A and B are shown apart, each in its own frame.
Chain A
């Protein structure tokens, strides 16, 4: 049961049923590590990715609902060798401890900066209100998003 999907700019054929949550397709069929299983309930945000320009919880998005929409994951933003401004900013601010939730936070910040090039702290916090972090790096995350906004505006 092959399904076509476009992830990080590439067409891929995956051998997964249409009812498969996107998270498992990304992680297990495509070998991507960015989206993480956190709750499976759409509550924590660790699994977030961008589908058709919108932030989605991949644990509760079915493959059938993705269709021809383009999917972007953390890996699609940048790489170890060529990181995205957000990834660089998170490293510069050391805005992670365990880093497990950071995928969703960076993806949400990407959507925020796509829509608001110069968010203030309150706007950043509001954009991340549905993303849980347990290590307590929230203030560093806010600084990192601000830093990335400055970098992207250059």
Chain B
């Protein structure tokens, strides 16, 4: 713990003490924090680091979480306004910015309301209490006699002082360590939390106000583009940059090892220079051999792997005799993020200080890796989160930030805007890894599962910047003096990596779940929404239907018979009731209905999903007509925002399940545009009904939990309709026709 860089990178010892939170890094201060302190406050103890009262009678709230299109800033503003008792429109949010903090690491894992929300709630309650104490002194009355109305403290005799008046006479009031000993407001007293307040950022975005990093325009800014190899790990053998240098407006051609970029005065010139430079580049032919997609599951299982048992029970007990053994194998393809806007960053090197504006999910971790690659101190780099196109995980945001910084280093004093082209994003951004699973279970004649054996093979889904043992930034591996890629972390259950949600949620007397972390990485891997949960829940919930069918039982009843958790049972019953689930209904060959359940990350939100499909047997096209979801995300900060997230996850899951696969030959990725990587379109989107069950439990993130059960319910609906089961995703028309032939 002596080297600050190493300690920043040390993989969380803190996991042991942080029950419901996952983060990469631990600092020595974690162990000293009061045990009741919300996670995000442990490293960010200063009250003024979260809340400042501005002279213009507004409140600035600082969060380390980033707006990725999920509406988090609005939800956090609601929590702040609620606890402070100020009007909602007085709240301004500043997010994920290394120039001031707080450092909340990454915006990932559906943890922003849980982490930043809890921190802002505690900070807000404490700031309100501190202001009340000061007001009590000022008025010479007891605090208990004071009340707060819209940011003003009111005494019984009618005297009043605004928060801002109090703070201006006592400017050091909020400059204190958070004690986290003030009880927050009772949920029954909420006026703002729990309301469907409109997103604070949408009016600007929908009227063309500069909102995105893509919209940034700084004086003297140049435009840049990168030129990448045609395939992973190819080396630049020769470069003729004559044509590129003759493009009008050229400012610089940058080459560092295999990293190539151009900078020009105008954006279309950068694209022309990129194309010219690409034509002049000759690359080695020694890229690695990619898996044979016609035999994907077997190809994955043959990669080097590290096996660990991630769940076990009852292994010393024998399996009851006479139980019927059933097995199956499920596989999903590599999946792309497919953000509509390719990744973009703006970078400026000025007076030795590098500032990068980025739509990263982790401003602080990215800063560390940028500093390491640039060979400068962390303090000489700042990363300021600026919204980009939709973020569904670890896309090209971090990589393009380094690309832009490398160009900015070559043109000091001039801001550089670098946006990837569409093919850069599809071919080079980290992908959600392909996964394959094998599951075997034993079933009694009464339809009880008495044994469960499960194996999942997957590359790591967690290869972000800021991890220990290397640098996870694309260009860093291409430099003349290259950096090593960080090895995959070992993320324990219940969070897991490729094994996220690999342990079934059901009551199983005997089970063993093995995770085979693949160590060879033929295709660049990263985090796509839900990590391994998608592949695992697809497998487990498909298999539950197969078991129910073998037992001759209704899929809903079969699940309920293996579940005790009342919240799990409640979402299942609510989804079935809302959809009008009819036990025993038969598919007619073209129409069918499927069910699935999961609790995201094992400790996150609950979701049960019913999917109705129509199948055109001649074309092989599967249409999803309707999706019903019942979800329990605990206490809901913004119901419409939560519904929006659940709906979006459902649409994305239908798209992934029916259509999406990164295609490649044995040498390189071939799906490099929207024709090669089609996603769900307007006419194909199902109607969606969302039922939210709120029992007042602590808030659970809603950003991811609707995806995996939707995929599984869709696969189950297909099987219900046709009597044939597709165990390989996506369910393309070719595969459907083959299954039905």
- List the one stretch of B103-111, B388-396, B732-740 in contact with chain A: B388-396
- Is there an interface contact between B340 and A96, defined as CB atoms closer than 8 Å? no
Of listed A33, A92, A122, residue having the most chain B CB within 10 A? A33
Binary interface profile of B, 339-370, with partner A (CB < 8 Å = 1, else 0)?
11110000000000000000000000000000
- Is there an interface contact between A132 and B679, defined as CB atoms closer than 8 Å? yes
Q: Confirm or deny: A44 has a beta carbon within 8 angstroms of a beta carbon on chain B.
A: yes
- Is there an interface contact between A139 and B685, defined as CB atoms closer than 8 Å? yes
CA distance A28 to B222 in the complex (A): 11
Q: Confirm or deny: B640 has a beta carbon within 8 angstroms of a beta carbon on chain A.
A: yes
Q: Confirm or deny: A140 has a beta carbon within 8 angstroms of a beta carbon on chain B.
A: yes
Inside 8 A of B198's CB, which chain A residues have their CB? 91-92, 94
CA distance A142 to B650 in the complex (A): 17
User: Given that A40-B421, A136-B648 are contacting pairs, would A125 and B207 also be in contact in the complex, using a CB cutoff of 8 Å?
Assistant: no
- Is there an interface contact between A36 and B206, defined as CB atoms closer than 8 Å? no
Inside 8 A of A28's CB, which chain B residues have their CB? 217, 223, 266-267
Which single member of A31, A74, A135 contacts B69 (CB below 8 Å)? A135
Q: Confirm or deny: B561 has a beta carbon within 8 angstroms of a beta carbon on chain A.
A: no
Number of interface residues of B (CB under 8 A): 63
A-B contact count (CB 8 A): 178
Inside 8 A of A153's CB, which chain B residues have their CB? none
Inside 8 A of A34's CB, which chain B residues have their CB? 208
Inside 8 A of B201's CB, which chain A residues have their CB? 99
Instruction: Give min CB distance, A55 to chain B, whole Å.
Output: 15
Binary interface profile of B, 642-654, with partner A (CB < 8 Å = 1, else 0)?
0011011111100
- Is there an interface contact between A99 and B206, defined as CB atoms closer than 8 Å? yes
User: Given that A37-B342, A100-B390, A134-B390 are contacting pairs, would A74 and B644 also be in contact in the complex, using a CB cutoff of 8 Å?
Assistant: no
Which single member of B217, B673, B683, B687 contacts A139 (CB below 8 Å)? B687
- Is there an interface contact between A135 and B648, defined as CB atoms closer than 8 Å? yes
Which single member of A16, A80, A90, A139 contacts B266 (CB below 8 Å)? A16
Q: Confirm or deny: B594 has a beta carbon within 8 angstroms of a beta carbon on chain A.
A: no
Inside 8 A of B688's CB, which chain A residues have their CB? 139
Closest chain A residue to B678, Cβ basis: A132
Closest chain A residue to B673, Cβ basis: A41
Instruction: Give min CB distance, A78 to chain B, whole Å.
Output: 6
Instruction: Give min CB distance, A48 to chain B, whole Å.
Output: 12
Which single member of B69, B209, B647, B655 contacts A80 (CB below 8 Å)? B209
Instruction: Give min CB distance, B702 to chain A, whole Å.
Output: 12
- Is there an interface contact between B340 and A20, defined as CB atoms closer than 8 Å? no
- Is there an interface contact between A43 and B681, defined as CB atoms closer than 8 Å? no
Inside 8 A of B190's CB, which chain A residues have their CB? none
CA distance A95 to B308 in the complex (A): 44
CA distance A106 to B390 in the complex (A): 17
Closest chain B residue to A98, Cβ basis: B69
Which single member of B203, B207, B392, B673 contacts A74 (CB below 8 Å)? B207
Inside 8 A of B25's CB, which chain A residues have their CB? none
Chain A interface bracket (under 10, 10 to 19, 20 to 34, 35 or more): 35 or more
- Is there an interface contact between B340 and A136, defined as CB atoms closer than 8 Å? no
Inside 8 A of A21's CB, which chain B residues have their CB? 268
Binary interface profile of A, 5-26, with partner B (CB < 8 Å = 1, else 0)?
0000000000010001100100
Closest chain B residue to A142, Cβ basis: B682
- Is there an interface contact between B69 and A44, defined as CB atoms closer than 8 Å? no
User: Given that A33-B210, A34-B208, A99-B205 are contacting pairs, would A132 and B681 also be in contact in the complex, using a CB cutoff of 8 Å?
Assistant: yes
Which single member of A74, A97, A124, A125 contacts B208 (CB below 8 Å)? A74
Inside 8 A of B209's CB, which chain A residues have their CB? 33, 80
- Is there an interface contact between B206 and A106, defined as CB atoms closer than 8 Å? yes
Inside 8 A of B199's CB, which chain A residues have their CB? 94, 96
- Is there an interface contact between B206 and A100, defined as CB atoms closer than 8 Å? no
- Is there an interface contact between A100 and B422, defined as CB atoms closer than 8 Å? no
Inside 8 A of A136's CB, which chain B residues have their CB? 647-652, 655, 685
Of listed A39, A83, A130, residue having the most chain B CB within 10 A? A39
Inside 8 A of A2's CB, which chain B residues have their CB? none
- Is there an interface contact between A134 and B387, defined as CB atoms closer than 8 Å? no
Instruction: Give min CB distance, A123 to chain B, whole Å.
Output: 11
Q: Confirm or deny: A101 has a beta carbon within 8 angstroms of a beta carbon on chain B.
A: yes
CA distance A140 to B68 in the complex (A): 19
Which single member of B340, B419, B652, B683 contacts A44 (CB below 8 Å)? B340
- Is there an interface contact between B208 and A32, defined as CB atoms closer than 8 Å? yes
A-B contact pairs, 14 of them (CB 8 A): A37-B341, A37-B342, A43-B673, A73-B208, A80-B203, A83-B203, A97-B644, A98-B389, A100-B341, A125-B685, A129-B681, A135-B648, A137-B651, A142-B682
In order of increasing CB-CB distance, the 7 nearest A-B pairs are: A98-B69, A136-B651, A98-B390, A136-B648, A99-B205, A34-B208, A100-B389
Chain B residues with CB under 8 Å of chain A are 68-71, 198-199, 201-212, 214-215, 217, 223, 266-268, 271, 337-342, 387-392, 419, 421-422, 640-641, 644-645, 647-652, 655, 673-675, 679-683, 685, 687-688
Chain A residues with CB under 8 Å of chain B are 16, 20-21, 24, 27-28, 31-34, 36-41, 43-44, 46, 73-75, 78-80, 83, 87, 90-92, 94, 96-103, 106, 122, 124-126, 128-142
